Chains A and B, each alone.
Chain A
Amino acid sequence: MSSTSIKQVTGKGVFVPGDDIDTDRIIPARFMKCITFDGLGDYLFYDVRKTETGDDKKHNLNDPRFADASILVSGNNFGCGSSREHAPQSILRAGYKAVIAGSFAEIFFGNSTNLGVVCVTASDQDREILKDAIELNPELEITIDLEDHKVWYGDQSFPCAIKPGARDSLLSGNYDPLNELMTGAPEVAKVADALAYMQA
C-alpha cells in the first residue's frame, strides 16, 4: 500500500522512564484476547498507568500536562520481548506517532516501521536533556526530522539515528511492504520451485 511520505513528525513529548520496556508492559497479554486491533489504544501501558483496582497511578502518562503528547521518549532496548504487533498498534491507536529511545528491540522496530510509527535512537545524554526540557515545558514542540537525522526542540537540536532501510521506507511512504512484495510473485514461485520442501 502506498501511503503518505513521512519526512517529519512534530508533536509534544512525554517521558516514559526505564530501560528494557518490554511489549508485555506496553500492552499486557490479557488485553490481547481480541480478533481485531480496534480499541487497543485504551490499554497502552495499562499496568504502568493503573493500580490493580483500576485507579490512576502517578505517572507521566496520566499527567494532564502531557495529555496531548504524541511522541514517547524512553530508555534502551525499548519494545523487547514478545513479537506482538499489538504493542505498536496500541501506541498508534493511543495517538502516538513516534518513539525516541536509546535503542529498540528488532521485532518491535520492524513492526512499528510497517505501521508508520517512527522509531529513532538518540544518546542517553540527549534524551536526558530532552526529558528535562519536556518536564520544564510540556508544551514544547518537538520535531523528528528524518531527512536531516535531527530531533529539534524549540530552537535546539541533537542528532538521531534510524536504520537506512526503514528511513527510506518512511520517506518514500512505502513503509507497508505488501504491494511491493506482491509484485514479486513470479520470482517467488521460481525460488519456491527450487526447494523440495515447498512442493505440495
Chain B
Amino acid sequence: MSKSLFEKVWDAHSVRQLANGQTQLLIGTHLIHEVTSPQAFGMLRDKGLKVQYPHRTFATVDHIVPTNESIEPYSDPLAQGMIEELRKNCVDNNVTFFDTNTGKQGIVHIVGPEQGITQPGTTIACGDSHTATHGAFGAIAFGIGTSQVRDVLATQTIALNKLKVRRINVNGELAPGVYAKDVILHIIRLLGTQGGTGYAYEYAGSTFDNFTMEERMTVCNMSIEGGARVGYVNPDATTFEYLKGRPYSPTGEAWDAAVESWKSFASDEDCEYDDVVNIEASEIQPTVTWGITPGQGVGIDQNLPLIADGATLSDRESIAEALEYMQFEEGSAIKGKKIDVAFIGSCTNGRLSDFQEVARYIEGHKVADGVQAIIVPGSQVVAKIAEGLGLDKIFIEAGFEWRAAGCSMCLAMNPDKLIGDQLCASSSNRNFKGRQGSPTGRTMLMSPLMVAAAAVTGEVSDAREVFGVLV
C-alpha cells in the first residue's frame, strides 16, 4: 500500500499502542536547550532515573544568551544560572553540548541541520514549538513540553496521537522579491492559525522542489503558527547535497546506504492524503502582518481589513482587538507604518542565505534616523561564514548592529527587547502581544529583505521599490 512520508516514518518508529490508544513513538533525535530542559533533568533526578540513550540527545544554548556580551558571568544572573545548569546536566548525563566556546553554538533549529544531526526519515523532538523546522529534511519533527522532554530522556519515547496529513502544493515560480517567508505567511493567512490542528503539513509542488534547504526550513519552521505541529518536505537530491560532508552525516559506504534509505521514506506518488490544498506561487506577494497573530497578514500593496470584514462576531472582535493593540486604523494601508526597530534573525530567518540576500541589496543604503536595526546570526557557524564573506562589514556600514548568535529579539529572554510600544519590523515568527519583551511592544512579521527595506526608509515599504529588485 502506498504511504506518505509521515506514515512511513511513523511506522518505522512506532513501538506499541498504549492503554489510552496513543502510540508509544521512538524519538530518534532529541534536541534540548536551556529553557525547557532543566525541570526535566530535575524530574529525572527526583525519580532516580538515567538518560537511556544519551548519544541521541544534543544540547545547545540559545534563548537566554546575550548577543552583545560574550564574557561570563553574564550581567543577568538568571541567564548565567540557566547556562550553568545546562552545562552541568550535560556533563552529568553524557550529553553532547554545543556550548558557547565550541564555535558550534546557536539556535537549536539552526545547529541541528548545519551539524548534519537532522536527517531524513527520522523522528526529532525538542522542547520548542519551532522544531518542525527540521521537517525540511523529511524528518517528522515536533515540539514537546517539558514533561515529554523528561519522557524522552528517560525512555527515548513519548506518547502521541497519530496526525492526519494535509498536502500543500505550491506550484510555479515566486516573483523576484517574494521569499519563502512570504510563502508560509501566505499559507497561514489562507488556512488560519488553527487550520493545521491535528495535521502534519506536507509541503510540495514545484516551488518547494526548487527551494534550497534553507528556504524549506523557513517554511517548515512556521508550521506551528498555522496550528500544525509537524511540517515537512520530502527528501530529494537537494537534501542529500546539503547533508553531504556535515560533521554528523554518515560517510563512505554508510553514506550510500543512508541515501538509499532516505529516498525510500519519500511519500509514494499515489498515496492518499487527508486533505490537499493547491496554491499558485504567482499569487503570493511580499506579505506583512498587521495584527497579533501570524495569520493576520496582508500583501504589501493591500490595506488592513475593516472590522466589519470579519465573518463572525468573534472574527470582528479579533480584528478590533488587534487594531487597538497595534494602534492601527482599520482599512489603512500597510505601507507607510513608521517603525522604531528592525530585527533580522531567528530560527525562521537567521541563516546564511537570509544574510546574503540582504547584503546583496543593502550596500549603499543607510538605516533611517531613529531606527535601531540589529542583525543576528542564527549560529556561530553562520556568523563565521558571514564574516568570512565580509557581510558583517556591509551591515555595519549600512547602520545595522551585527551581533553574536542567539534567539535575540524573537522572544525577549535576553537583553534584546522592545521598549514601551515600539513598532518592530521583524523577520521572526511570532507577533503575539508582548512577544518581543515589552508588554505593549508591537511586531510586524515579514521577510528579511522587507525588514531591511523598512530599516532604511523608517517605515513598512515594498523592498522591490526600495532596492530596485527587478520584477
Q: A30-B413, A52-B440 are in contact. Are A103 and B78 (CB under 8 A)?
A: no
User: Which of chain A's residues has its CB closest to B117's CB?
Assistant: A197
On whether the beta carbons of A19 and B318 are closer than 8 Å, the reply is: yes
A165 adjacent to chain B (CB < 8 Å):
yes
Q: Is B302 an interface residue (CB 8 A)?
A: no
Q: Which residues of chain B have a CB within 8 Å of any CB of chain A?
A: 12-16, 18-22, 24, 26, 28-29, 35-36, 38-39, 42, 52-53, 55-56, 63-64, 76, 78-79, 81-82, 85, 119, 122, 127-129, 131, 142-148, 150-151, 154-161, 193-194, 197-198, 224-225, 227, 229, 250, 254, 257-258, 261, 292-293, 314, 317-318, 321, 411-413, 420, 430, 432-435, 437-440
Q: Is B55 within 8 A of A200, CB to CB?
A: yes
Give the interface of A toward B (CB within 8 A).
18-20, 22, 24-25, 28-30, 32-37, 47, 50, 52, 75-77, 80-86, 88, 103, 105-107, 110-111, 114-115, 124, 163-166, 168-169, 172, 174, 176-178, 180-182, 184-185, 187-188, 191-192, 194-198, 200
**A-B CB contact pairs (8 Å), 8 listed:** A35-B42, A47-B434, A52-B440, A176-B147, A178-B151, A188-B26, A188-B157, A192-B53
Q: With A22-B432, A106-B197 as given contacts, are A164 and B155 in contact (CB-CB < 8 Å)? A: no
Contact of A81 with B79 at beta-carbon distance under 8 Å, contacts A20-B318, A164-B21, A181-B155 already known: no
Q: In the complex, given contacts A107-B229, A197-B122, what are 10 additional A-B residue pairs having Cβ atoms less than 8 angstroms apart?
A: A22-B432, A30-B413, A77-B193, A110-B145, A181-B155, A184-B157, A191-B26, A194-B12, A195-B26, A197-B258
**How far is A107 from B19 in the complex, measured between Cα atoms in Å?**
20
Residue numbers in A under 8 Å from B225 (CB-CB):
81
* Complexed CA–CA distance, A35 and B146 (Å): 11
How far, in whole Å, are A120 and B195 apart by their CA atoms in the complex? Answer: 19
Partner of A24 from B21, B64, B432 at Cβ < 8 Å: B432
**Shortest Cβ distance from residue B164 to the other chain A in the assembled complex, whole angstroms:** 12
How many A-B contacts if CB must be within 8 Å?
225
Q: By the criterion CB–CB under 8 Å, are A20 and B193 in contact?
A: yes
User: Which chain A residues border B19 with CB–CB below 8 Å?
Assistant: 168, 172, 174, 180
Which chain A positions have C-beta within 8 A of B14? 191
User: How far, in angstroms, from A197 to B291 measured CA to CA in the complex?
Assistant: 43
Residues of B within 8 A of A172 (CB): 19-20
Q: How far is the CB of B30 from chain A (nearest CB, A)?
A: 11
Q: Would you call A106 and B12 a contact (CB within 8 A)?
A: no
Q: In the bound complex, do residue B194 and residue A35 qualify as a contact, i.e. CB atoms below 8 Å apart?
A: no
- Chain A residues within 8 Å of B81, by CB: 33, 35
Q: Tell whether, in the assembled complex, residue A196 and residue B156 are in contact, meaning their CB atoms are under 8 Å apart.
A: no
